[in-house]
Amino acid sequence: MPIPLKSGETLRGRYRIKRIIGQGGMGSIYLADDTRLEGRQCALKEVEHDRSLPPELAREARDQFLREATVLARLDHPNLPKVSDFFSISNRDYLVMDYVPGKDLRTLITEARQENRFLAESDVLNWAGQLANALTYLHSQNPTILHRDIKPSNLKITPDGLIKLVDFGLVKLLAPGEITITVMQGQGTALYTPLEQYGGDSGHTDVRSDVYAFGATLYHLLTNEPPADARERFLQPEVYIPPRQINPDMSLRTERAILWAMSLHPDERPETIDIFRQNLISDRQTLPRLTPSSTSRWNFLNFPLEQSLIAISLGLTLVTLIVTLAR
Q: Are 276 and 210 in contact (CB under 8 A)?
A: no
| Catalytic-role residue among 33, 93, 104, 149 | 149
CA distance 171 to 147: 5
Region of residue 138 (phi > 0: left; psi between -120 and 50: alpha; otherwise: beta) = alpha
CA distance 298 to 294: 11
Q: Are 302 and 256 in contact (CB under 8 A)?
A: yes
Name residue 170's amino acid. Answer: L
Active-site annotation holds for 149: yes
Q: Are 148 and 180 in contact (CB under 8 A)?
A: no
Q: What is the DSSP letter of 194?
A: -
CA distance 26 to 6: 17
CA distance 105 to 150: 11
- State the catalytic residues: 149
